[in-house]
């Protein structure tokens, strides 16, 4: 048991060192901050553009600080709304599973390296209760760091199949909105883009403003005993 813990710790240290080296050696932090660079990189890799895009989506989930909004928008810009949503969903699902699996294997030592302590503390309630409705709400409600949630859920007892259903379902609406926005931008449909963006931000703004109240309502409902059971 002790040897197993030591081995995992050594593997974790190696993983962190290699990841940091690759991230800065290849200037990936600059790559992901420039939308045009990402678009050109994907287009230059035909006929494997779809695979390259999916890999980028996987990477942006695992490397949580990378903004997923930009890559989701790019998917719609390059491939269109429906294919963009599909490719983004595939990449995000695989990336979410990988982040979950890494956290499940390495445990708290990795979680403490990837996720800020205040973020972990914020979701202590979730980690203790592991309600499916609460978990889904965390992915659906804007403002919650969804990539970090994959790592946090990885140290829980949640089955991987349940996690994949929750994360994929919870991400889908936002992914579709980003793909549609990217498609409008590609076709220079700026009026439609402005109307869609305004409507989307209005809905997101309302949900985000009342996110704590909504989460509390869901928590209370998830705690209610089933019919015929005593509280």
Q: Residues 169-202: pLDDT tens digits?
A: 988 888 888 899 888 888 877 787 777 667 766 6
pLDDT of residue 227: 46
This prediction's pTM: 0.73
Whether residue 206 has pLDDT greater than 60: yes
Considering only residues 103 and 116, tell me which one the structure prediction assigns the higher pLDDT: 103
Q: Residues 23-38: pLDDT tens digits?
A: 555 455 555 567 777 8
Which residue, among 15, 20, 12, 21, has the nearest Cα to 109 in the 3D structure?
12
| In contact, 160 and 97? CB cutoff 8 Å | yes
The single residue listed with the structure tokens 């197993």 is: 4
| 43 Rama sector, left if φ>0, alpha if ψ -120 to 50, beta otherwise | alpha
pLDDT of residue 21: 56
Q: 75 is written with which tokens?
A: 């998917």
What number is the average pLDDT over the span 89-101? 93
Domain edges within the chain = 32-223
Q: 219 is written with which tokens?
A: 């928590």
| In contact, 39 and 77? CB cutoff 8 Å | yes
| In contact, 137 and 218? CB cutoff 8 Å | yes
Q: Count other Cβ atoms within 10 Å, centred on residue 168.
A: 17
What number is the average pLDDT over the span 137-145? 72
Q: Residues 34-70: pLDDT tens digits?
A: 777 788 888 888 888 999 999 989 988 887 556 667 8
pLDDT of residue 143: 61
The single residue listed with the structure tokens 């708290």 is: 108
Rg (CA), the chain: 19
Taking the C-alpha atoms of residue 35 and residue 56, their distance in angstroms, rounded to an integer, is 13
Whether residue 98 has pLDDT greater than 80: yes
What number is the average pLDDT over the span 111-116? 76
The pLDDT confidence band at residue 112, using thresholds 50, 70 and 90, is confident
pLDDT of residue 70: 81
Q: Which of 132-136, 161-165, 209-213, 215-219 has the largest mean confidence?
A: 161-165
């Amino acid at each position: 048991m002790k040897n197993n813990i030591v081995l995992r710790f050594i593997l974790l240290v190696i993983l962190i060192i290699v990841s940091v080296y690759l991230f800065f050696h290849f200037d990936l932090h600059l790559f992901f901050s420039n939308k045009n660079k990402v678009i050109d990189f994907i287009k230059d890799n035909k006929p494997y553009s779809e695979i390259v895009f999916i890999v980028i989506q996987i990477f942006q989930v695992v490397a949580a600080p990378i903004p997923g909004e930009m890559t989701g928008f790019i998917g719609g810009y390059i491939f269109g709304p429906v294919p963009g949503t599909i490719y983004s969903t595939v990449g995000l699902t695989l990336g979410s599973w990988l982040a979950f699996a890494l956290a499940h294997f390495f445990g708290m030592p990795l979680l403490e390296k990837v996720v800020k302590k205040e973020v972990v503390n914020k979701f202590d309630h979730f980690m203790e209760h592991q309600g499916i409705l609460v978990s889904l709400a965390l992915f659906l409600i804007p403002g919650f760091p969804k990539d970090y949630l994959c790592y946090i859920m990885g140290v829980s007892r949640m089955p991987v199949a349940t996690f994949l259903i929750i994360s994929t379902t919870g991400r889908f609406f936002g992914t579709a909105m980003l793909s549609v926005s990217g498609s409008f931008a590609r076709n220079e449909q700026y009026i439609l883009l402005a109307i869609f963006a305004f409507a989307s931000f209005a809905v997101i703004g309302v949900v985000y403003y009342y996110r704590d109240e909504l989460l509390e309502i869901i928590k209370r409902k998830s705690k209610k005993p089933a019919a015929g059971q005593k509280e």
